[in-house]
């Protein structure tokens, strides 16, 4: 049985905090993967999504930070 706060507001706040943490961890992991030469296909497979979904979620942010995959550089 899961341990959750009795107060619904506290439980919802905890969920939001966990989602933000998970999103940040995903962004950092994808950035490291790109920096080490992973393709969008490899990243997508690791995330359990399509290549297109991974690219849509992360490519613009990475490009803004000066990071791109070899795939993106060759386009």
Whole-structure pTM value:
0.80
pLDDT reported for residue 69: 76
Range of the domain at 15: 8-73
Average pLDDT over all residues of the chain:
90
pLDDT reported for residue 6: 83
Instruction: For residue 1, tell me if it sits in a domain.
Output: no
Instruction: For residue 48, tell me if it sits in a domain.
Output: yes
Angle at 62 between CA 61 and CA 65, to 5 degrees: 90
Q: What would the two tokens of residue 75 be?
A: 């386009």
Instruction: For residue 29, tell me if it sits in a domain.
Output: yes
Instruction: For residue 25, tell me if it sits in a domain.
Output: yes
Torsion-angle region of 37 (φ positive above 0: left; ψ -120 to 50: alpha; else: beta): left
HSE, side-chain direction, 13 A CA sphere, residue 14 = 9
Instruction: For residue 30, tell me if it sits in a domain.
Output: yes
Instruction: For residue 3, tell me if it sits in a domain.
Output: no
**How many domains does the chain divide into?**
1
Eight-class DSSP state of 69: -
Instruction: For residue 2, tell me if it sits in a domain.
Output: no
Which of the four pLDDT bands, split at 50, 70 and 90, describes residue 67?
Answer: confident
Least confident of 14-28, 39-53, 59-73: 59-73
């Amino acid at each position: 049985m899961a341990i959750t706060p009795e107060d619904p507001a506290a439980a919802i706040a905890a969920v939001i905090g966990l989602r933000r943490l998970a999103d940040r961890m995903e962004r950092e992991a994808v950035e490291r993967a790109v920096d080490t030469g992973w393709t969008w296909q490899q990243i997508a497979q690791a995330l359990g999504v399509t290549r297109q979904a991974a690219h849509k979620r992360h490519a613009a942010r990475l490009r803004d930070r000066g990071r791109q995959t070899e795939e993106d550089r060759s386009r």
